[in-house]
Each structure stands twice: as structure tokens, then as C-alpha cells.
Structure 1
Amino acid sequence: MKPIWKWALIVLAIILLVVGGVLWYYGRNWKPILETKLKEAIHNSSDGLYTLTYDELDLNIGLGNVTLRQAELIPDSAIYQQMIASKKAPDNRFHIKVKSLKVRRFSLWDVLRNRTLRIKSIVLEEPEVYLWSEKHAFNDTVSNDPKKTLYESIEDVFTSVNVRDVQLDSVKFTYSKIEKGKSSNIKLDKVNVKLEDILLDKDSQHDSSRLFYAKMIDVHIPGFAYDLPDDFYKLRFKDLKFNSKDRSLLLTKFAYEPKMSKSAFFKQKNRNITMTVLKIDSLSVENIDVRQLVEKQQTIGSIVRLKNGTVDLSNDTRYPKYPKNKIGHSPHQKLMKLNSIIRFDTVLVDNVTITYYEFSAKYGREGSISFNNAKGNLTNVTNDTLTLHKDKFMRADLSAKIMNSGNLHAKFSFDMLSKTGYHTYKGSVGAMNATAFNRILRPLLNVELKSGNMKRVTFDMEGTDHRNWGDFRFDYNNLKLSLLNEQEKGQAQTSKKIVSFLVNQIIINDSNPDANEIYHVGKINYRRDPQHTFFKTLWQSLLDGIKQTAGISPEREARLMGTAEKAKEAAKNSNSVLKKTGNFIKGIFKKKEKDEEEE
């Protein structure tokens, strides 16, 4: 071997010995230095609120690996109380446990030369995260004292920190909200979190493309279930997926429903209040403004999609109702009263069926009316006054099959800035057989439509908190009603037929245009009952149009009452005919298909 190669090998051996000696030295001596600096950085950055503990720290300088075993980040309750007293306490506190925390492939050379820390990956095994949220009024006020940023807390140690990947698998997460001394908890198991390209330096906090200093945060929560504090309802979903880079949120198999059966719900409530069951196969939000959501709790996005679901609303008239003043509580007015900003450009609805059920105390049966396969869109869905000053109307354009038969198309427009709740609604119902409505008429009114061809319904309406007005048109023919009241003792079967005959021949036109070729148009001017909800008022207004187009007037009702008296004299054992006729008239034109919802 030539001398030059001998010298080269000798030099290489010396270098390896030096590097090995350096690594050995720093491996032995940097461990206590690293431990001290790590604990010091956490203590200083949290103003003494948090302490880091662990059972073991393994440090391999050569490979750039650090492992913490049985590590905990523990909040100090005494320090937190002191921070509350000095009005410096954060609203949120954490307690974090991990079986092991593995830091892989960091460069000691960068730390020594530039005070920069670059890490390839961090993996947390079996992490447990406890979060306490306690709102403090002093955090809502603007402080003149500048808050120390996370970078300012570590700049004495590092000029920058960069982590390429962070992985948290099967996280156990517990969230406790403390309000007025009471705590409500949400627990999640098997949460998976992935973060990419975390950068902490003097400029990264101002980078709008980052969330919590990361270029991407991906969260997956499977199998969530939560009992709401009201003791009646629960929430659940199969999967929640959130990606900060895509700015997307996806919920699958979402449900909001009672924790008990329908009969148990009303028995426990002991009042006739609307029971709601909401189920959606897929709910997604696009282009979420994540920064606004995190920093200001504002929910802002471009498109919300609701696909394949059901909304069931139920009432039970066997229980008492406690009327309340509903003025100012319409859906769009409730949106304006929310404490936080909501803004969506468009909400798309696809294949959602809405059904209203009511159990009749009088007849002991349940009737229902459904709007099947509802689809359409809502636009400018917001309570942000700055946005509404540019366009003050929230709009809805929806279609459905009423009773899974006739095609319903309706357009709503809500003036969100109106002090009187101004809104408009117009639409149409296509051809259908009127007997489809027996599903609600027979159980609730004990009456049925024997026949009836609905050719077309159109309406064009305006409304406020106190009044609804507009035009209503209803084209139909061959309309026949049949009264189904059971015979009372001593009443002849003839009386029921007489009442049905009177209704069909005297009070209701069997067609529009009627037999005299007169076309009846409903000119609606309906004054709202303050105890009626928005939807009940809408229905009562359209019902007024139905009565007018069917040719019903007070004069015709008076004629019916007079003729019924003669029929009563002619029919033996029919003492209750007049009473039944009067009750039927009142019932059929006052009864709603969708009863009042408690708001």
C-alpha cells in the first residue's frame, strides 16, 4: 500500500475517533443540558403554568434521535388560580400524557452552528389529552399589554424550529367545559391526527397558509357519540374528517335524536312540544376559514352540502301545550340573534325527506304529512351585518314531492336586516290526487277525501311578524269529502251521509272554476296569531287561500247551518248532526297539517 493511502486511512481514523469522541461527549453531557433546556423552555413559555415530567430520556446524537418515555405535561392549578387573580389566565388548560414521544433525525450540527432545530418526524404513542375550557371575561377585553408569542418564548434557545411530520394515533381526548361551576364532558377515543411542515420562526406566525404553525393538519374522529346536557337528546356520527390544507370538513352518518322512544319522550316532557329527529348521511363544508374559526369562533365557508337524510318532527296533543309569544322568533331572525358569526355562500340540499307527525288525543291515531326527496339551495346564509349591507336577503329555492306525489317548488326570500321580519315566498304544486292527504286528514280530523284531482296550486306571498298577504290560485275538480265520525248512541247512519252531503253540495265547490264557470282567486290578508310559529302562520295563510278558492265564505257556512237544521228534523235519531257539522267545519278549516313547533 502506498504511503499516501496509509496517511489517508490514518487521517480518516483520527477523524472518526474525534467525531466519535465528540458524539460520546455530547451524548453524555448534552443529556442533562437538553433536559434542563427543555424543561426551562416549557416553564418559561407558559409563565410557569406547565411542567414537563418523564421516566426516561434516551438521546442518540449520532442518529439525531430522542425518546421520552412516560412523559406528562402537567398544569399547575395553584399557578392557574394566581393567573386568574391577575387576569392573565388562558381560557384553556391542557394535561397531556404519552407512553412515548419519539423525535427522529434532528441535526446537532444545525443546533450548534445556527441555533436551528430541524426534525424529520415526531411520533406520539398512546397519547391522552385532557382539555379544560373555562371562559374568563377579562379575555374578551382588549389588553394594552402585548402577549408573548410562542416564538418569543423559545428565541433564546432556537432561532427556528422545523418539524416535517408529526403523527398522533389513537388519541384519547377528553374535553371539559366549565360554566357556572358545572362541568360537561366530551370524550373521544381513537382520534388520529397528522401534521405536516411545522415551522416556528419570527415570520411563521404571520403566514396565513399555516394553522398552529403547520402547513397541514389532518384530523380523523371515528365513532363519536355524545349525550347532550338536556338529558333528552344525543349526537352521534360515524366519521369526522377535517383537513386544514384542503379547508374541508366531512361528517358521515350524522344524527341528532332523542335518547328514548317517542312515547317516553312526551311522557317525560309532559307537554306537547315538538320532538325532532335529524339524520344526514353526509354533511360537508368546503373552503372553511379555519383561522377565523380558531381565533374568533366564526364559522365561515363557501359551500355546505347536505345529502341523503330525514327530518322527523312529532307532536302529541294528549299532552298540554304552553303557548308563548313567537313574534321575532322566525328561523331567519333566530340566525341573526346568534352570538357568533355564521357565513356560507351556499347550502345545497339533496334528497332530504321532511315528515311531520301528530298524534290525535281525540281519535287516538297518528297522522303525518311528508315532503319527500327535498332538494335545492339556500344562498347568502349569514348573520354578518357587513355582508348583509351588500345584499340583505337570504334566499331559498327548494323542491320536493308532497306526500311523495305532487311536485312542490317554493322560493323564499328573507330580509335579514328587517326589524319586522319581512319575507316573501312563492311557489307551486303540480298535479296530484288529493286523496294522498288522507294520511293526515283521516287520523286527525276523522274525515277523508273520497276523490279530488289537484291540477295546480300557485301562490305569491309577502309577510312580516304580524301579517301575511298575497294571491293564491288552486285549480281542481271532482272534490268529494266523506265524514267518518262514528255513530253515537241513538244516531242513525243516515246522519253521517247527510252531513257529508251538506259539506259537498253547499259549502265546498267541487271544482275551480266552479259549476258556473267562475274562477275563484284567493286574496289573502291574514293577521298572525302571536302564539303561532313562522311555519304555522305560513300554513294558516295558505289555508285561507284554499278556503277562498274552494268558494267557502261565511254566507255559505250560514246556509249550511240552516240546511243542517232541516236535515236534523227530517232524519230520525240524528240529534247530534248539527253539532257534528259545526265541529267538522271548525275542525277542517282550523286544523293545520303541520302543528306549531316549539322554538
Structure 2
Amino acid sequence: MGTTTFYRKRKFWYWIGGITAAIILLLSIGAIILSAKWKPTLTTKIKEGVADASNGLYKIDFQDIHLNLLTGTAVLDSIRLMPDTNVFNQLKTTKEAPAHLFRIKLAHLKISRVAILKAYFKKKVDLTAIILDQPSIDMVYHKVPKKVDTVKDEKTLYQQISKSLKSISVGQIKVIDADFDYYNGKKKLNAIKHLSINVKDILIDSAAQFDTTRVFHSKNIGFELFGYKSETKDKMYTLKVDTLTGSITGKDLEIRGFKMEPMYAKLAFSRKYSAQKDRYDLDFKKINFSGVDYVGLNNNGELHVKE
């Protein structure tokens, strides 16, 4: 190979590299410009979507949205999802209010592989994943009246969003290391840290709305909890769990490393009661439950287990 030929080939690759770099630069600049133009539209669509899907019960606010059209990712900063108490009270009067309300706060919410143009022009939301990292979640139970007989059928979620969207498809929703507080009205009953939830294959469309194999529009909802610790209501025992895993779809629950330890020595324990009571010190490596009615827990605040 001659020196001239070598330099020509090297110059050719320089040209290819330069043209490629220029195209990438132009695409990046274009994506930045388009992202800036899309942000107000996407912000409005997200807020309208949450309001429509919840019949006005929930409102979402966030400080900013970072959009990358090249990778199809969006990141929302300082998110707050809150119920509208006025709407909730109206639903109670018509006996249509849900038993549980949620309050969610988190610093960042990441949405990956979102087809923005498809969502805008075809009204189809198609996402690979939604990731909530270290959110704060409050679940508040309210004893609400329910209609015994209803002439009017309740609308499905698809029917509620069908005017603005044809379908919603999400590969998975991951909640990582959440702080979860459970309330009965204004009274906090329990606080849980290090809770992770994985919801897979969410689909909301005209056909999936009647799919009985789905729970809360998904094919599987799993959860995992590490290092749980609490006190019994009478303040006499400490409860500890190493890991707790379960599946809402599979209706199962597995507890590993369960301990119920007395908070007082034998003599001090007996003096806490006017009458003699047994003192327990329990230690189980593994406990399995099946036929757990998680849906009933959500609807009625009561947990039923078959075995």
C-alpha cells in the first residue's frame, strides 16, 4: 500500500467521522429545541391524564420535566400526587368513594422508552418502564359507604380515558426502596421502610379492560420488604422480619426470619399485668401463606388468608 493511498483512506474515515459527529450534533440540537417545545404540551397531558383517569380525585404536580427525544426518556422532578378532598367528599355522598387514598412524594420519576410522537398523534402511550426511586407513600384508609345495588354500571379505567387515549402499555413499574405509611383516617397505624414493588405488563385498552387474568390492569404485582421492625399494640413485644416477599396476582406471601421478642424480662413482664399471662418468644425461619386476598384488603381494609 502506497503512502498516498494510506492517507486517502485515513482522510476518508476522517470525513465519515466528521459527518457522523455533525449529524449527531445536529440531532442533539434538534432534540433540545423539540424537547423545549414539547415540555409544556407533555406537562399538560400528564396532568390531564391523571385527572381524567381518577375522575378528578387526584392531582399531580412537579417542578420540572427533562425530556430526551433521542433516547425516549423523561424525568420528572419533585413530584407530588395528592387527592382532592372536595372530590372525595362528593364521592362519599354518592357512595362512590374508594376505601383508600394515596399521597405520593418523590424527588425524581424516570420514564424510559416513551414513544412521544406515537402518544401525541396516535393517542397510544407505550412505555418500557416507570421507575420511582425512594418515594414517600401514604396509604389512608377511610370507612366509606358503598352502594348495595347500582343501576348505573361503574366505568372501567379505559372508558374513563378513552376520550383522550386509545391505549396505555407499560412494560413495568418499579418502586424502589419506598417509605410506606399506613393510616386509618388521621391515625398512623404503621410505618414501613425499604419497600420495593414491581408491577409487570400493564395494559389498558378496549380488550384488556375485560381481561380477568389481570389484577389492577397488570399481569403480576410483586413486592419485597427488608428489615421490618415494629412493636405490638400493647407495647409488650417487638416484631422483626428479615425479608417479606409476596405476589398480589399469585395471592401468596413468604416471611423469612420472623421473630416476636418480649420487651421485658420475665419478672418485669409479669408485673405489667394484674392477672397471669403467658409470655412468648417466637422465632420462625420461614412462614408461607397462600390464598391471600390482597384485593379485599384494598377494598375493605380487611385481610383474609386461606392457609
Counterpart code for 1:295: V
Query: Which residue of 1 is the match for residue 202 of structure 2?
Result: 198
Rate the CA distance shift 1:184–1:274 in 2: closer, same or farther, 3 A: farther
Query: Which residue of 2 is the match for residue 343 of structure 1?
Result: 306
SS for the counterpart of 2:113 is strand
Matched residues, number: 282
Query: Which residue of 1 is the match for residue 288 of structure 2?
Result: 284
- Structure 1 residue 176 and structure 2 residue 187: aligned? no
Per the TM alignment, residue 273 of structure 1 is displaced from its structure 2 partner at its CA by: 3.1
- Structure 1 residue 46 and structure 2 residue 54: aligned? yes
Query: Which residue of 1 is the match for residue 20 of structure 2?
Result: none
Partners of 2:294 and 2:303 within 8 A in 1:
no
For residues 19-168 of structure 1, what are the structure 2 equivalents within 5 Å?
Answer: 26-136=34-144, 138-139=145-146, 141-168=148-175
For residues 145-544 of structure 1, what are the structure 2 equivalents within 5 Å?
Answer: 145-178=152-185, 183-244=187-248, 247-286=251-290, 288=291, 293-297=293-297, 342-344=305-307
Counterpart code for 2:182: Y
Counterpart code for 2:247: N
d(CA) in 1 for partners of 2:87 and 2:232? 32
SS for the counterpart of 2:48 is helix
* RMSD of Structure 2 on Structure 1 (CA): 3.1
SS for the counterpart of 2:206 is coil
d(CA) in 1 for partners of 2:239 and 2:151? 41
Partners of 1:41 and 1:153 within 8 A in 2:
no
d(CA) in 1 for partners of 2:212 and 2:113? 28
d(CA) in 2 for partners of 1:205 and 1:277? 48
Rate the CA distance shift 1:87–1:210 in 2: closer, same or farther, 3 A: closer
Partners of 1:195 and 1:217 within 8 A in 2:
yes
TM-score, normalisation: structure 2? 0.79
Counterpart code for 2:190: I
Question: Could you list the runs of 5+ residues in structure 2 that have no partner in the other structure?
Answer: 1-23
Counterpart code for 2:141: S
Per the TM alignment, residue 176 of structure 1 is displaced from its structure 2 partner at its CA by: 1.1
SS for the counterpart of 1:87 is coil
Q: For CA contacts below 8 A with separation 6 or more, give which structure has more relative contact order.
A: 2
Rate the CA distance shift 1:245–1:144 in 2: closer, same or farther, 3 A: closer
Rate the CA distance shift 1:232–1:47 in 2: closer, same or farther, 3 A: same
Counterpart code for 1:198: I
Per the TM alignment, residue 68 of structure 1 is displaced from its structure 2 partner at its CA by: 0.3
Superposed CA offset, 1:438-478 (max 9, x none): xxxxxxxxxxxxxxxxxxxxxxxxxxxxxxxxxxxxxxxxx
SS for the counterpart of 1:275 is coil
Work out which of the two has the higher radius of gyration on C-alpha atoms and give 1 or 2.
1
SS for the counterpart of 1:63 is coil
Question: Could you list the runs of 5+ residues in structure 1 that have no partner in the other structure?
Answer: 1-15, 299-338, 345-599
Rate the CA distance shift 1:108–1:22 in 2: closer, same or farther, 3 A: farther
